[in-house]
A and B are shown apart, each in its own frame.
Chain A
Amino acid sequence: MKTGTTVNRHATRQSTTWLLPVVWLLLTICGTAVAEEQGGGAVPNPGIELWRAVREGPPPGVSRSQVEGIGMTTLIAEGGERWRQLRSNYVAPWGGWALVGMLGVLTLFHLVRKSPERFDGSSGKVIVRFPDYDRILHWFMAGTFLFLAISGLILLLGRYVILPLVGPQAFGAIASASKEGHNLFGPVFIVSLTLFVLRFAQRNFFARGDLAWLAKGGGMLSGKHVSAGFFNAGEKILFWSITFGGLAISISGLILVFPLFGQSRELMQLMLLVHGIAALVLIAFTFGHMYLGSIGLPGSFNAMNTGKVDADWAHAHHDRWHREAEEKGLIEKAPS
Chain B
Amino acid sequence: METIAAFLEGPFWYFSAAVFVVGVVGRLALALSLGSSKSLSVPRGSASAGAVRAVFSRFVPRRDFYRRIRLEVIAGYAFHVGLFVLLFFAAPHVEFYKEYILGFGWPTMPRWAFIVVSEIAFAGLIVLWLRRLLHPVSRKLSDAGDHIGSILIFFVMLTGCLALGEDHESLRLIHLFLAQLLLIYFPFSSLMHTFTFVFSRGYIGAGFAHHGVKA
Which residues of A are interface residues toward B (Cβ below 8 A)?
132-133, 135-136, 139-140, 143-144, 172-173, 176-181, 184-185, 187-188, 191-192, 305-307
Give the complex CA separation of A265 and B165 in angstroms: 22
| A-side contacts of B163, CB under 8 Å | 177, 180
| B-side contacts of A305, CB under 8 Å | 134
| A-side contacts of B135, CB under 8 Å | 132
Given A132-B131, A140-B130, A177–B165 Cβ distance below 8 Å? yes
**Could you list 25 A-B pairs, sorted by A, with CB under 8 Å?**
A132-B134, A132-B136, A135-B130, A136-B71, A136-B130, A136-B131, A143-B126, A144-B126, A173-B168, A173-B170, A176-B165, A176-B171, A177-B163, A178-B162, A180-B162, A180-B165, A184-B115, A184-B119, A185-B119, A187-B119, A188-B123, A188-B126, A191-B123, A192-B123, A305-B134
| A-side contacts of B123, CB under 8 Å | 140, 188, 191-192
| A-side contacts of B122, CB under 8 Å | 184-185, 188
Give the complex CA separation of A257 and B123 in angstroms: 19
Smallest CB gap from B138: residue in A: A132
| A-side contacts of B118, CB under 8 Å | 184
Min C-beta distance of B172 to chain A, whole Å:
10
Contact B134 A135 (CB under 8 A): yes
Give the complex CA separation of A181 and B163 in angstroms: 8
Given A136-B71, A140-B127, A179–B165 Cβ distance below 8 Å? yes
Contact A139 B134 (CB under 8 A): yes
Contacting A at CB under 8 A, from B83-139, are: 115, 118-119, 122-123, 126-127, 130-131, 134-136
Name the interface size band of chain B: 20 to 34
Give the complex CA separation of A108 and B208 in angstroms: 66
Q: Tell me what chain A mostly uses at the interface: helix, strand, loop, or mixed.
A: helix
Q: Which of A136, A192, A305 has the most CB of B within 10 A?
A: A136
Given A135-B134, A136-B71, A181–B168 Cβ distance below 8 Å? no
Give the complex CA separation of A307 and B131 in angstroms: 13
Give the complex CA separation of A179 and B163 in angstroms: 10
Q: Which of A144, A172, A181 contacts B161 (CB 8 A)?
A: A181
Give the complex CA separation of A249 and B53 in angstroms: 48
Q: Tell me what chain B mostly uses at the interface: helix, strand, loop, or mixed.
A: helix
Contact A307 B134 (CB under 8 A): yes
Q: Which of B115, B163, B168 has the most CB of A within 10 A?
A: B168
Q: Which of B71, B162, B165 contacts A133 (CB 8 A)?
A: B71
Given A139-B134, A187-B119, A177–B126 Cβ distance below 8 Å? no
| B-side contacts of A176, CB under 8 Å | 162, 165, 167-168, 171
Give the complex CA separation of A132 and B163 in angstroms: 34
**For the complex, is B151 an interface residue (Cβ under 8 Å from A)?**
no
**For the complex, is B49 an interface residue (Cβ under 8 Å from A)?**
no
| A-side contacts of B71, CB under 8 Å | 133, 136
**For the complex, is B25 an interface residue (Cβ under 8 Å from A)?**
no
Smallest CB gap from A190: residue in B: B119
Give the complex CA separation of A172 and B115 in angstroms: 22
Give the complex CA separation of A212 and B179 in angstroms: 56
Min C-beta distance of A147 to chain B, whole Å:
9
Contact B158 A181 (CB under 8 A): yes
Given A136-B71, A173-B170, A184–B161 Cβ distance below 8 Å? yes
Min C-beta distance of A138 to chain B, whole Å:
9
Min C-beta distance of A134 to chain B, whole Å:
9
| A-side contacts of B165, CB under 8 Å | 176-177, 179-180
